[in-house]
Amino acid sequence: MKPKKRNIAIQDTYGERFQNCWGCGPKNEQGLHLKTYPSEDGETCITQFEPDNQYTGGVPNNLFGGMIALVFDCHGTASAAWFAHKNKGLALTEETVIGRFITARLETDYKKPVPMDETITIRSSIEELSERKAIVRMKMEASGVVRAEARMVAVAVKDDM
C-alpha cells in the first residue's frame, strides 16, 4: 500500500504503546502505515492510499474485502480519537499524544468493487460522541464513486487496558 502523506497524521500522535498496529502503526516495519488527517475545519478526516497488487480479492483489479474493512478499522479509530480530541477544544500539534480508541463494532456495506489502479479516498465524520464512545461514519470512494460505507462504534481505551 502507498499511503498519501499530508501534515500531522493522527497515528503519529498515538502514545508509544499504540504505535505497532499492522494497518497504521508508524513503528510496525512490515505494516501498511495508513495515515488519517483531519480536514481544515476539523469536521471530517481523510485517508488515501493506492493498493498494491497483492491485496486483490482474486478478481483482477478488485481490492480484497478484508482490506476494505481493515482500512475502515484503522481510519475509524483514528478519526474517533481526533473527534474526541477536538471536542475537548484541543489542537493537533507535534507534541500531541492523543487518546486512543478501540473498535467495538464495525458494520461495512460493500456497494461496488474497489479498483486497485487508482487512489482510494476514505472520509469520516462523527455521528455521535459521548465521554467514552464515538460513532463514526465512513465512505470509501474511487473516481468520485462511493464503493463502500461503514459505521463504527469506537470506545476510548482506559489506562489499564
Ligand X SMILES: CCCCCCCC(=O)SCCNC(=O)CCNC(=O)[C@H](O)C(C)(C)COP(=O)(O)OP(=O)(O)OC[C@H]1O[C@@H](n2cnc3c(N)ncnc32)[C@H](O)[C@@H]1OP(=O)(O)O
Asked if residues 42 and 129 have their Cβ atoms less than 8 Å apart, the reply is no
Measured at the CA of 75, the angle between CA 91 and CA 72, to 5 degrees, comes to 155
Q: Which helix (H) or strand (E) holds 38?
A: strand 37-38
User: Does 133 contact ligand X by CB under 6 A?
Assistant: yes
Q: Tell which one of 33, 100, 139, 147 touches ligand X (CB under 6 A).
A: 100
Between 14 and 37, whose beta carbon lies closer to ligand X? 14
Asked if residues 135 and 77 have their Cβ atoms less than 8 Å apart, the reply is no
User: Does 157 contact ligand X by CB under 6 A?
Assistant: yes
- Of 3-11, 54-62, 103-111, 141-149, the window that binds ligand X (rule: CB under 6 A) is 103-111
User: Does 73 contact ligand X by CB under 6 A?
Assistant: yes
Residue identified by cell 475502515 is: 72
Q: Which three cell numbers stand for residue 26?
A: 508508524
Binding site for ligand X (CB under 6 A): 18, 73, 77, 100, 102-105, 130, 132-133, 153, 155, 157, 161
